[in-house]
């Protein structure tokens, strides 16, 4: 249960209680069922990972080409 997925599905409430966990699990299951209607199967863990990835991705700085940027950092001109 990631904090990012919990905040995305339940709002800003990060309560680590059984009641909150059950509400969180119910929302993930509902969304997984909703997404699975199109033929592809989604599990609640897939939904949680997608929410986590989205939250973490939105926090990290954007880069046009991270591959070339990392190569440039490793080489120094002398």
Residue 68: the pLDDT is: 54
**DSSP assignment string, 4-66:** HHHHHHH-S----SHHHHHHHHHHHHHHHHHHHTTSS---HHHHHHHHHHHHHHHHSPP-S-H
Residue 12: the pLDDT is: 75
At 75, the pLDDT band (50, 70, 90 cuts) reads: low
Q: What is the pLDDT of residues 14-53, one digit of tens each?
A: 788 999 999 999 999 999 999 998 788 999 999 999 999 9
pTM, to two decimals: 0.69
Residue 74: the pLDDT is: 60
């Amino acid at each position: 249960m990631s904090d990012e997925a919990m905040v995305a599905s339940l709002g800003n409430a990060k309560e680590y209680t059984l009641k909150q966990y059950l509400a969180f699990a119910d929302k993930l299951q509902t969304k997984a069922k909703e997404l699975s209607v199109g033929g592809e199967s989604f599990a609640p863990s897939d939904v949680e990972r997608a929410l986590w990835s989205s939250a973490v991705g939105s926090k990290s700085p954007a880069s046009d080409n991270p591959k070339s940027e990392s190569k440039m950092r490793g080489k120094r001109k002398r």
